[in-house]
Amino acid sequence: MVIVLLLSVVRAADAAPDFGPNVLIFDQNSSAADIKSQCDAIYATQERNEFGSERNAILFKPGSYQAVVKVGFYTQVYGLGMLPDDVTITGEVHSDARRSQNSGCLNFWRGCENLAIVPTSGTDQWTVSQAAPLRRVHVKGSLSLFDNGWTSGGFMADSIVDDRIIPGSQQQWFSRNSQWSTWTNGVWNMVFMGCVKPPDGTWPEKPYTSVEKTPVIAEKPFLYVDSAGNYSVFVPALRKDSTGVTWADGKPAGKSIPLDQFYLAHADKDTAASINTALGAGKNLLLTPGVYHLDGPIKVTRADTVVLGLGMATLNPQNGTSAMEIADVSGVRIACVLFDAGTTSSPVLLQVGESGSTQSHADDPTILYDIFCRIGGGSPGAAKTAVVINSCDVIGDHAWLWRADHGAGAGWESNPSTNGLIVNGNNVTYYGLFVEHFEEYQTVWNGENGRTYFYQSEMPYDPPTQDDWKNGSVKGWASYKVADNVKTHGAWGMGIYCVFNKDNIYCDNAVEAPKSPGVQFHNVLTFRLSGATENSGINSVVNGTGNPATKAVPKSLVLEYPAAQ
């Protein structure tokens, strides 16, 4: 009887949790042929599936594998070890741009994390743009970020590349707490924070902004399997003034949460009500891959709740509500969720804290990782604002907030959305913030002591006329707006671009902010990209400072604002 019971325990531990049909799990018993056939089948669907409903996660248990894993849309590849080197793939984890003449400018919504790659060619290929993070990856060779065409990414954190990184045509890139042997070049806006060996050179000779230490961050929670076959989610501890990766010297600091403390949600059967019931009972939440059509918001009310999405799990509000609301509590972690607006306009897709929140959460901040919002593109969609942060001390670690400029339902009247991000809380920090194409300010910062490290933004392509796109007598709407009453604010490494489809469209300022010694901007770029118009552009960089960006002279730089006296 004792032997039978022990065998039952082992078998229960070895059994995979119910992650649903869109999750593949490979182990050391998986043949190379089986890995190839199953991964290739996913890629056959996802290579060109920019606005499809399919979602996939590919998980590798600890061990060594021979594989070339091609990563298309809505596909994420994860190692299930405690350390990246616990899962080693010899071959490649590969994102290319052959579907569009080598341009990776549309290679969105995919990811890779928590594994080691030994590229057989010596170089791993990761041709991506927005919403395609690399996290906790160890490339035992070189890493190429382009495919001999344009790319417009990207984000990397807590990663090591043993040899060189080749950005190639990457227009912008944000690297945090990572290291490599050599970084070979840059185009417009490359920001390095807490990196061991940032490239030599500074603005304006090189497009590099380097910040020595990351002020405060806890790395993204991740799923792993222990030696007994038990699944847990590891929640890394908060670090302050950090440099380099968390795992170089072994297991990082943090805590493990057994998977039985998570509610495993499934898009084909769960509703907002069933998810909220589980959250209300004290469960954390794991969103298995799929598109969740919600008749109301998911409500996170308990401090230190973890919400972890797999395979670009997508929340789609149906009735004009928000998709998720987080109470003004400490220590919530929301990781890797795609918020996709419904056809009935929502006031906001993701709200953090109630209006008027003032409580300090400095010792245990809420952190948002890989938050992707989409208004239109897959179908007509509408939302007044993508993300509103009311709580104080929130940390954002990578976001792409996107009003669609192409796809189904993309047009000035078809996918209306006013703002991408509104920050009302104090002491909010964002690392790697991408906000694009909203119809007024892309980002509005009302809280005190806000900080942004790396900002990438395109203004809307589609204002019908200048009269339709004016803020009173001011032409256009600045991309980045700091409220007039704010006394302290800082931003480092900002790239703000315009492409206007109609002639005679201008924006007077890329950035508007109070003229105060405590409000400072470092290394701000504007660029007038090619378009169908002759007469259009950005008239100044910050508050009337900086040259125009026009067809004749498309780029303008401001190194410091206000300028040093």
How confident is the model over 472-478, as a mean pLDDT? 98
Q: If you average pLDDT over every residue of the chain, what do you get?
A: 95
Question: For the segment 494-531, what is each residue's pLDDT rounded down to a tens digit?
Answer: 999 999 999 999 999 999 999 999 999 999 999 999 87
3-class DSSP assignment, residue 431? strand
Mean pLDDT, to the nearest integer, of 70-98? 97
State the CB neighbour count (10 A cutoff) for residue 206. 14
pLDDT in the model for residue 6: 34
Is the pLDDT reported for residue 4 higher than 90? Answer: no
The CA-atom distances, in angstroms, between 367 and each of 118, 185, 374, 397 are 32, 31, 20, 7
Residue 283 CA to residue 14 CA, distance in Å, equals 22
φ, ψ of residue 407 to 5 degrees: the values are 95, -175
In a domain, 103, yes or no: yes
Instruction: Report whether 73 contacts 106 (CB < 8 A).
Output: no
Q: What are phi and psi of 287, to 5 degrees?
A: -90, 110
Residue 93 placed within a domain:
yes
Chain segment 162-218, per-residue pLDDT in tens: 999 999 999 999 999 999 999 999 999 999 999 999 999 999 999 999 999 999 999
pLDDT for residue 3 is more than 50? no
Q: What pLDDT score was predicted for residue 387?
A: 99
Residue 349: inside a domain, yes or no? no
- Enzyme catalytic residues: 458
In this structure, of 23-37, 87-101, 178-192, 462-476, the range with the lowest mean pLDDT score is 87-101
Decide: 402 and 374 in contact? Cβ < 8 Å: yes
Q: Into how many domains does the chain fold?
A: 1
For residue 534, pLDDT over 90 is answered with no
Q: Which positions ≥6 away from 281 have C-beta within 8 Å?
A: none
What whole-number distance in Å separates Cα of residue 216 and Cα of residue 431?
10
- Does residue 40 sit within a domain? yes
Provide the pLDDT for residue 9: 34
Predicted confidence band at 541 (pLDDT cuts at 50, 70, 90)? very high
Q: Distance of CA 512 to CAs 7, 186, 443, 468, Å?
A: 66, 27, 11, 20
DSSP three-state, residue 36: helix
* Residue 47 domain flag: yes
Residue 84 forms part of a structural domain: yes
Residue 14's pLDDT band, with cuts at 50, 70 and 90, is low
* pLDDT at residue 565 in the model: 55
The answer to whether position 31 is within a domain reads yes
Nearest to 376 by CA among 340, 420, 422: 340
Residue-level pLDDT at 291: 98
Nearest to residue 298, comparing CAs of 92, 132, 289, 309? 309
Region of residue 377 (left: phi > 0; alpha: psi -120 to 50; beta: else) = left
Residues in the chain: 565
Which domain range does residue 121 map to? 22-212
Summarised one tens digit per residue, pLDDT across range 253-278 is 999 999 999 999 999 999 999 999 99
**What CATH code is carried by the domain that includes residue 126?**
2.160.20.10
362-418, pLDDT tens digit by residue?
A: 999 999 999 999 999 998 999 999 999 999 999 999 999 999 999 988 999 999 999
Q: pLDDT band at residue 2, thresholds of 50, 70 and 90?
A: very low
CA distance 222 to 236: 9
pLDDT digit string, tens, across residues 293-337: 999 999 999 999 999 999 999 999 999 999 999 999 999 999 999
